C-alpha cells in the first residue's frame, strides 16, 4: 500500500472536520474523491500534505511504509507526495524556472544539470501548451487561473512524485485547457505512480482510467466503488448516500 489513512480525525480551530476516515491507495492506482461542498475534501488533502492549520486529533497517515502523520510538509514532498493546489500561491521575486530547479534539487537530493533541466522544462511546458516565457516569470504571479493550474501540473511532471493529489485542478478551466491538463496527467501516470483526484467535473476523468471512486460526506468516506460510482453520483447526487 502506498498511502494508508487509518481512522483519521482532523480539526481546524477546534472544529472537527474529519472523523474516523479510512482510505487506502495502492501503487499505480487512480482514485477519485467526490463529495458535496464542505464535506472535508480539501481538509483531507491538506492534512495529507501536512498543512499546519489542520490538526490531526487521532489516527495515522502512512506513506510508502513510513508514518508521516507528524512530519513537516517538505519531508512529505521529499517522500514523494505532491499536491496540486486549488489556489496556488503567488510568490514574487522567484522565477518559475529557478524555483523548480531548487525544488527538484531538494526533492531528489541530487544536483540538477542546468542544460538538461532547461531543455526538459521547455519540452514539458510545450507539452502543456504553456508559453515558455512563463518560465522566467515570477512563480504564479499574474498567471491566469488556467496558467496557474498548468504551472501546477508542470511542477508535478518535473518532480515526478509517487502520489499526486489534484485538488480541483480542472475547475475553472475551459474545455481545451482541461484536455491539455488531462494529457499532462496521463503522461505522469504509469504503473508505479498513483493519483488521487478531487473533482466536481467528470471531463478530466474521460482521459484517465479510474480504479476507485470514493464519496466523502460528514467527515468520512461513506462509499467506495469503481468508476461506475462516478456515473451514479452524477445521475443521483450525494443525498442518496447520506447516512
Under the rule (CB under 8 A), what is the footprint of another protein?
A: 49-56, 69-70, 72-74, 76-78, 82-83, 85, 88-89, 91-94, 99, 102-103, 106-107, 138, 155, 159
Q: Nearer Cβ to another protein, position 77 or 229?
A: 77
Shortest Å, Cβ 109 to another protein: 9
Q: Nearer Cβ to another protein, position 102 or 174?
A: 102
* d(C-alpha 142, C-alpha 92), whole Å: 10
* d(C-alpha 25, C-alpha 215), whole Å: 14
Contacts of 185 (CB under 8 A, 6+ apart): 153, 156, 164, 166, 169, 195, 204, 207, 208
Q: Nearer Cβ to another protein, position 155 or 193?
A: 155
Q: Nearer Cβ to another protein, position 69 or 178?
A: 69
Q: Nearer Cβ to another protein, position 82 or 212?
A: 82
Cell 526538459 locates to: 120
CA neighbours closer than 13 Å in the CB half-sphere of residue 158 = 32
For residue 238, count CB atoms less than 10 angstroms from its CB and return exposed for 0-12, middle for 13-18, buried for 19 or more. Answer: middle
Shortest Å, Cβ 15 to another protein: 16
Q: Nearer Cβ to another protein, position 65 or 109?
A: 109
* d(C-alpha 82, C-alpha 88), whole Å: 13
Beta strands in 38-162 (DSSP E): 55-63, 66-67, 81-84, 91-95, 138-139
Shortest Å, Cβ 113 to another protein: 16
Shortest Å, Cβ 228 to another protein: 33
Shortest Å, Cβ 130 to another protein: 18
Shortest Å, Cβ 76 to another protein: 8
DSSP 217: E
Shortest Å, Cβ 126 to another protein: 22
Q: Nearer Cβ to another protein, position 50 or 219?
A: 50
* d(C-alpha 137, C-alpha 143), whole Å: 9
CA neighbours closer than 13 Å in the CB half-sphere of residue 150 = 25
Amino acid at each position: 500500500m502506498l498511502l494508508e489513512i487509518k481512522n483519521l480525525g482532523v480539526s481546524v480551530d477546534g472544529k472537527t472536520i474529519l472523523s474516523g476516515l479510512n482510505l487506502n491507495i495502492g501503487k499505480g492506482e487512480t482514485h477519485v474523491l467526490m463529495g458535496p461542498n464542505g464535506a472535508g475534501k480539501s481538509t483531507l488533502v491538506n492534512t495529507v500534505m501536512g498543512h499546519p492549520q489542520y490538526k490531526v486529533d487521532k489516527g495515522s497517515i502512512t506513506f510508502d511504509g513510513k508514518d508521516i502523520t507528524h512530519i513537516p510538509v517538505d519531508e512529505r514532498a521529499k517522500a514523494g507526495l505532491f499536491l496540486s493546489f486549488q489556489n496556488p500561491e503567488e510568490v514574487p521575486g522567484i522565477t518559475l524556472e529557478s524555483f523548480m530547479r531548487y525544488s527538484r534539487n531538494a526533492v531528489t537530493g541530487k544536483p540538477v544539470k542546468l542544460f538538461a533541466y532547461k531543455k526538459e522544462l521547455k519540452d514539458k511546458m510545450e507539452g502543456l501548451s504553456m508559453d515558455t516565457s512563463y518560465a522566467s516569470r515570477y512563480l504564479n504571479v499574474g498567471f491566469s487561473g488556467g496558467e496557474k493550474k498548468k504551472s501546477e501540473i508542470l511542477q508535478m511532471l518535473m518532480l515526478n512524485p509517487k502520489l499526486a493529489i489534484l485538488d480541483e485542478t480542472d475547475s475553472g478551466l475551459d474545455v481545451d485547457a482541461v484536455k491539455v491538463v488531462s494529457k499532462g496527467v496521463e503522461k505522469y501516470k504509469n504503473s508505479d505512480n498513483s493519483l488521487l483526484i478531487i473533482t466536481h467535473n467528470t471531463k478530466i476523468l474521460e482521459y484517465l482510467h479510474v480504479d476507485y471512486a470514493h464519496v466523502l460526506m460528514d467527515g468520512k468516506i461513506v462509499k467506495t466503488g469503481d468508476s461506475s460510482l462516478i456515473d451514479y453520483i452524477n445521475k443521483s447526487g450525494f443525498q442518496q448516500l447520506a447516512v
